[in-house]
């Protein structure tokens, strides 16, 4: 069946401002609903991420027997989760569907290997072409029975849950999804699980596990987890705004010649703030105000203004701290004076689209000078962008990054398959429109 095509048109505007409220953080929302499902007691999760990815996690958990109610506005829902305790999950009556969400598949994949029943988990065409061998390998060394399709172990995944044993494992790549999958399996395994990370990846699972009473020790880049002897304690909280969604407005604010934007209640977990460090290094006028902590997660308001940017080099250990923001940072690179070089980001090729190829190709259609590299790209900034017809390749982050490029391009930019934004930020087009004056 042909996929539908929702087209969005972006035109430059004379001014951008002022306040934007972000959807709840997608990574934190997945973890909040999974861990509260396994807890004893009820939890209220406010500002739950409204996009399709987190809905996939919720429907899989419902299929596993968890009662989850949703109330409040569509774009800022509250979830009421009735935790069923550490032994409460039930065999699903049907195949679980993760949709487009790698986090759903990998986190639940890890958890389900430890549960005493059979489950099958699938996803959309994009997710069924993303690598699962990286998940299967460490889980099998814990004793898991988990199978993928073909020699590259693509989804659907078939899991025959059983008793696992803890492992000591060095993660070959800094993936928070794989780390979290092993930790979720380790909660139910026999004996301790010890993980060594090459460089830190996002640590939301660790923060929430500790907050809910798990015995988890963090020592530099290493973690050790003692399996659960009793259920986690449920925790009610408000999910901070998603910095990966805020990224579009951070970049819009700096690249637009007449902008001042205040982003309210934005998560600023240091494992996610690489974009702030890079924008500051590029010369952005950016201020962080009103810092506070909610359920172990730091958040703040961020103020950003039109700025003169210069090109920078981005690579090494900062990459996992900004991996999802590279498409929109490429737009900042187009507007900067000089060259921006992005290296060490081969993982971009394994996201919802091959983002090295798709970002380079689509921004080039707008007149950007970008050379793709095997592990990144070189952007020759300062070439004015000109509106054109572009395609989001069913990738939410590409759709929204192209919209920001369209704001500074001369003339009209038409974005095909713009519905991809639904995956993480359904209100994006409306919020962007509200900022344009």
Minimum Å distance from CB 375 to ligand S3P?
Answer: 15
Q: Phi/psi zone of residue 269: left (φ > 0), alpha (ψ -120 to 50 degrees), beta?
A: beta
Judged by CB under 6 A, the stretch of 74-82, 170-178, 217-225, 362-370 that binds ligand S3P is 170-178
**176 interacts with ligand S3P by CB under 6 A:** yes
Q: Long-range CB contacts (< 8 A, 24+ apart) of 65-73?
A: 65/89, 65/90, 66/37, 68/33, 68/37, 72/46
Question: Which of 175, 353, 401, 419 is in the footprint of ligand S3P by CB under 6 A?
Answer: 175
**202 interacts with ligand S3P by CB under 6 A:** yes
Q: Which is nearer to ligand S3P, 175 or 419 (CB)?
A: 175
Tokens 């490429």, residue? 330
324 noted as active-site residue: yes
Judged by CB under 6 A, the stretch of 156-164, 176-184, 305-313, 412-420 that binds ligand S3P is 176-184
Q: Residue 219: is it exposed, middle or buried by C-beta count within 10 angstroms (0-12/13-18/19+)? A: exposed
Q: Which is nearer to ligand S3P, 30 or 417 (CB)?
A: 30
Torsion angle defined by CA atoms of residues 40, 48, 199 and 324, in that order, rounded to the nearest 10 degrees: 160
Of 95-154, binders to ligand S3P (CB under 6 A) are 103
> What string of DSSP letters covers 214-260?
-EEEEETTEEEEEPPSSPPBP--EEPPB-HHHHHHHHHHHHHSTTBE
| Nearest partner of 38 among 57, 13, 54, judged by Cα | 57
Return the half-sphere exposure (C-beta side, CA atoms, 13 A cut-off) of residue 166.
17
One symbol per residue from 5 to 44: x for binding ligand S3P (CB under 6 A), - otherwise; what is it? Answer: ----------------------x-----------------
- Sheet of strand 67-71, all strands in order from the earlier edge strand to the far edge: 67-71, 78-84, 40-46, 237-238
Question: Which of 57, 177, 197, 340 is in the footprint of ligand S3P by CB under 6 A?
Answer: 177
**Which of 124, 324, 391, 431 does the annotation list as catalytic?**
324
Minimum Å distance from CB 352 to ligand S3P?
Answer: 8
Minimum Å distance from CB 128 to ligand S3P?
Answer: 16
Q: Which is nearer to ligand S3P, 278 or 323 (CB)?
A: 323
The residues binding ligand S3P (CB under 6 A) are: 27, 103, 175-177, 180, 202, 323-324, 347
Report the catalytic residues: 324
């Amino acid at each position: 069946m042909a996929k539908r095509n929702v087209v969005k048109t972006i035109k430059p505007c004379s001014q951008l401002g002022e306040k934007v409220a972000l959807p709840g953080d997608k990574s934190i929302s997945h973890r909040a609903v999974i861990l509260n499902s396994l807890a004893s007691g009820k939890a209220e999760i406010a500002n739950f991420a409204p996009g399709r990815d987190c809905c996939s996690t919720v429907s899989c958990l419902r299929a596993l027997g968890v009662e989850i109610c949703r109330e409040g506005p569509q774009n800022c829902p509250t979830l009421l989760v009735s935790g069923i305790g550490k032994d409460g999950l039930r065999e699903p009556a049907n195949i679980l569907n993760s949709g487009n969400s790698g986090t759903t598949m990998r986190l639940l994949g890890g958890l389900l290997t430890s549960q005493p029943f059979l489950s099958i988990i699938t996803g959309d065409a994009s997710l069924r072409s993303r690598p699962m061998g990286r998940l299967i390998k460490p889980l099998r060394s814990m004793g898991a029975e988990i199978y993928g399709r073909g020699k590259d172990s693509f989804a659907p995944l078939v899991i025959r849950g059983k008793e696992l044993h803890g492992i000591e494992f060095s993660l070959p790549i800094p993936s928070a999804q794989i780390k979290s999958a092993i930790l979720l399996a380790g909660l139910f395994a026999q004996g301790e699980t010890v993980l060594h990370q090459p460089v830190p990846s996002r640590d939301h699972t660790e923060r929430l596990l500790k907050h809910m009473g798990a015995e988890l020790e963090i020592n530099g880049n290493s973690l050790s987890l003692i399996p659960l002897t009793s259920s986690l304690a449920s925790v009610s909280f408000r999910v901070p705004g998603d910095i990966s969604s805020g990224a579009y407005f951070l970049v819009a604010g700096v690249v637009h010649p007449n902008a001042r934007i205040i982003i309210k209640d934005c998560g600023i977990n240091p494992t996610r703030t690489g974009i702030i460090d890079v924008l500051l290094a590029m010369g952005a006028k950016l201020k962080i105000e009103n810092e506070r902590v909610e359920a172990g997660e730091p958040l703040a308001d961020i103020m950003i203004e039109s700025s003169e940017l210069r090109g920078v080099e981005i690579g090494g250990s900062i990459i996992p701290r900004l991996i999802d923001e590279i498409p929109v940072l490429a737009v900042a690179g187009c507007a900067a004076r000089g060259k921006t070089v992005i290296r060490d980001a081969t993982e971009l090729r394994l996201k919802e689209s091959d983002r090295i190829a798709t970002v380079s190709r689509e921004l080039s259609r707008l007149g950007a000078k970008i050379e793709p590299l095997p592990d990144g790209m070189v952007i020759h900034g300062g070439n004015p962008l000109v509106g054109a017809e572009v395609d989001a390749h069913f990738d939410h982050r590409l759709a929204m990054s192209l919209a920001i490029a369209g704001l500074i391009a001369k003339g009209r930019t038409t974005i095909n398959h713009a519905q991809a934004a639904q995956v993480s930020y359904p209100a994006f087009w409306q919020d962007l429109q509200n900022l344009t004056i």
